[in-house]
């Protein structure tokens, strides 16, 4: 009966995080069908490794597997996605200056924001998704992305700065 209990526990602890799994995979692979494939595979792996789950946050546990599955998938199918250089010097703005310009986003900027996030290199995109959409702590993100907490912080900082530049640049284009 142990496998029966196992399956019930899996259903209670892991299945409810399907949206989180899909959202992460969707943002990392850029499209629906690939995200679905990745999530199916990640759930299989999760089921396989579930006996090793020692408690703790089941969502962070699942997202670690989803993220690993995504990266394996990207390596096989979109290897160049993993080597996109991070171009800090977008639109000739220096990196160390403050940005005193006031940023006012409107609902019409949603599409811009989505675009900006899609363009961000994957290792910056993932920390922003995990922090802003999943509201995970630096410690949890550091576990999922296998990087030190200081790196989580600096990626968030550089990622947000970059988004801000992107949005400011495009607002100016329209005016």
For another protein, the binding residues (CB under 8 A) are 2-7, 9-11, 13, 15, 18-19, 21-23, 26-27, 32, 35-37, 39-41, 43-44, 47-48, 50-51, 53-59, 98-105, 107, 109-110, 113-114, 117, 128, 131-133, 137-140, 153, 156-157, 160, 163-164, 167
Judged on CB neighbours under 10 Å (0-12, 13-18, 19+), 103 is exposed
CB of 128 to another protein, least distance (A): 7
CB of 69 to another protein, least distance (A): 12
Among 29, 36, 63, smallest CA distance to 145 is for 63
User: Measured from the CB atom, is 83 or 116 closer to another protein?
Assistant: 116
CB of 149 to another protein, least distance (A): 8
Judged on CB neighbours under 10 Å (0-12, 13-18, 19+), 90 is middle
CB of 74 to another protein, least distance (A): 17
Distance CA 159, CA 126 (A): 10
């Amino acid at each position: 009966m142990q496998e029966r209990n196992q399956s019930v526990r899996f259903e209670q602890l892991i299945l409810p995080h399907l949206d989180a799994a899909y959202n992460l995979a969707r943002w990392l692979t850029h499209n629906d069908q690939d995200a679905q494939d990745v999530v199916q595979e990640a759930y299989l792996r999760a089921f396989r490794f579930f006996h090793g789950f020692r408690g703790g946050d089941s969502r962070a546990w699942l997202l670690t597997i989803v993220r690993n599955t995504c990266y394996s998938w990207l390596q096989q199918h979109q290897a160049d996605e993993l080597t996109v250089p991070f171009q800090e010097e977008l639109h000739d703005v220096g990196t160390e200056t403050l940005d005193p310009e006031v940023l006012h986003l409107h609902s019409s900027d949603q599409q811009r924001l989505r675009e900006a996030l899609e363009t961000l290199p994957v290792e910056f995109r993932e920390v922003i998704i995990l922090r802003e959409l999943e509201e995970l702590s630096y410690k949890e993100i550091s576990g999922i992305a296998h990087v030190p907490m200081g790196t989580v912080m600096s990626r968030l900082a550089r990622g947000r700065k970059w988004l801000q530049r992107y949005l400011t640049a495009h607002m100016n284009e329209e005016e």
